[in-house]
């Protein structure tokens, strides 16, 4: 069901709807505002924002052609938002046609500033990104449907995590600013539309550079299944920027693979890849295709690496050396 309408354009009942996970003040709300401007500029469509209580409602609204939607997709700290990824894979008539990124920082809020505080409430990804703050204050995690909803509903003895704007929106006291574990966190969001509209609108800019998210489920399993798929991606000269696996729910040992490629399905080499996948009997579905934005490709420095492991001498101090036999035995378990 609908949560609350936003004050930005939402009173225009003749405008197309752009649904997002509410309430106001969520990171998805910020992404929806960015998407709203992009859609107006790229597709000349005016869309009124409408907040929703959950992602299944958003996807259902898109499938019923009541409007477009915005959902969280990937965070550079916690990775893919798996429930949203699975929902898009399983959706009957939805695909992504745009991608927008939002810088993520969390402030800690209380209703009246008076303790003691025993609980920390936020979206599960927000809780995962502020574990240090929770530990230092001895707070028990309480998941919420969104960070903004946690701020809206924060109760006595609770601390809520959310964007800084939530303090003013919901009349809260700021307990502490910037409590996330990692600075520079960012979440990417997908703009969703019915599949027919995505195909039609994408074709308007066929000569541009695109990025595509593809999911493949091999119907046969065993050694070499993924290797043959990746070999074909290489042979077609396609650049793969992401590869993850998802289990086929309830069926041990079966997986689907989600691949992000720098190309569009109508481009000849990509089309040849799709024909090859279909021709060998595997299940395949394009989840999203949108204009590609240049991504940074920085080198990995020693301070970014996890504890332990083995790396070559060139990385620097604090990393096990290639020539250290004892370190290699311990870290590689050989």
Asked if the model's pLDDT at residue 312 lies above 70, the reply is: no
Integer Cα distance of 161 and 175 in angstroms: 10
For 263-288, b where at least 16 C-beta lie within 10 A, e where not — what string? bbbebeebeebbebbeeeebebbbbb
Whole-number pLDDT of residue 15? 61
Residue 241 contacts by C-beta under 8 Å, 6 or more apart in sequence?
211, 260, 261, 262, 295
Integer Cα distance of 23 and 27 in angstroms: 10
Question: pLDDT of 206-231, one tens digit each?
Answer: 667 899 999 999 988 788 889 999 99
- Mean per-residue pLDDT, 243-267: 92
Supply φ then ψ for residue 213, to 5 degrees: -105, 125
Q: What is the mean pLDDT of the chain?
A: 88
Task: Provide the token pair at 19.
Answer: 């649904």
Integer Cα distance of 19 and 67 in angstroms: 7
> Which range has the worst mean pLDDT, 139-148, 260-269, 294-303?
294-303
In 3D space, the residue among 299, 302, 320 whose CA is nearest the CA of residue 311 turns out to be: 320
User: Within a 13 Å sphere around the CA of 256, how many CA atoms are in the beta-carbon half?
Assistant: 21
- Mean per-residue pLDDT, 138-157: 95
Asked if the model's pLDDT at residue 4 lies above 50, the reply is: no
Whole-number pLDDT of residue 313? 59
β-strand pairing of 158-162 with 107-110: antiparallel
- Mean per-residue pLDDT, 309-329: 63
Residue 140 contacts by C-beta under 8 Å, 6 or more apart in sequence?
118, 119, 120, 134
Whole-number pLDDT of residue 222? 81
Integer Cα distance of 8 and 213 in angstroms: 31
Asked if the model's pLDDT at residue 264 lies above 50, the reply is: yes
Residue 103's SS3 state is: strand
> Which range has the worst mean pLDDT, 76-80, 111-115, 264-268, 308-312?
308-312
Whole-number pLDDT of residue 7? 35
- Mean per-residue pLDDT, 311-326: 57
Whole-number pLDDT of residue 12? 47
Whole-number pLDDT of residue 63? 95
The beta strand positions in 134-185, using DSSP E, are 140-143, 158-162, 173-176
Integer Cα distance of 312 and 323 in angstroms: 8
């Amino acid at each position: 069901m609908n949560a609350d309408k936003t004050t930005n354009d939402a009173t225009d009942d003749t405008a197309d709807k752009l649904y997002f996970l509410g309430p106001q003040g969520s990171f998805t709300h910020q992404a929806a505002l960015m998407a709203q401007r992009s859609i107006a500029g790229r597709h000349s469509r005016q869309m009124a924002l409408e907040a929703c209580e959950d992602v299944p409602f958003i996807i259902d609204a898109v499938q019923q052609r009541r409007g477009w939607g915005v959902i969280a997709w990937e965070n550079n700290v916690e990775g893919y938002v798996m429930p949203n990824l699975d929902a898009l894979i399983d959706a009957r008539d939805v695909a992504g046609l745009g991608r927008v990124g939002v810088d993520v920082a969390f402030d800690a809020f209380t209703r009246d500033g008076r303790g003691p505080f025993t609980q920390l409430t936020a979206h599960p990804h927000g809780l995962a990104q502020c574990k240090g703050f929770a530990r230092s204050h001895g707070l028990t995690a309480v998941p919420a449907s969104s960070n903004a909803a946690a701020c809206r509903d924060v109760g006595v003895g609770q601390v809520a995590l959310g964007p800084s704007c939530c303090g003013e929106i919901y009349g809260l006291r700021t307990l502490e600013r910037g409590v996330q574990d990692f600075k520079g966190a960012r979440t990417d969001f997908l703009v969703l539309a019915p599949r027919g509209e995505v195909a039609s609108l994408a074709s308007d800019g066929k000569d541009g550079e695109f990025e595509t998210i593809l999911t493949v489920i091999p119907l046969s399993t065993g050694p070499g299944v993924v290797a043959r798929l990746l070999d074909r991606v290489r042979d077609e000269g396609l650049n793969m920027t992401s590869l993850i696996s998802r289990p086929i729910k309830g069926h041990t040992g079966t997986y689907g693979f989600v691949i992000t490629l720098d190309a569009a399905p109508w481009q000849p080499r990509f089309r040849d890849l799709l024909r090859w996948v279909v021709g060998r009997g595997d299940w395949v579905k394009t989840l999203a295709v949108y204009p590609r934005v240049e991504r940074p490709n920085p080198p990995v420095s020693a301070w970014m690496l996890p504890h332990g492991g083995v790396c070559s001498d060139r990385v620097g101090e604090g990393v096990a050396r290639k020539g250290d036999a004892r370190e290699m035995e311990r870290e590689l378990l050989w």
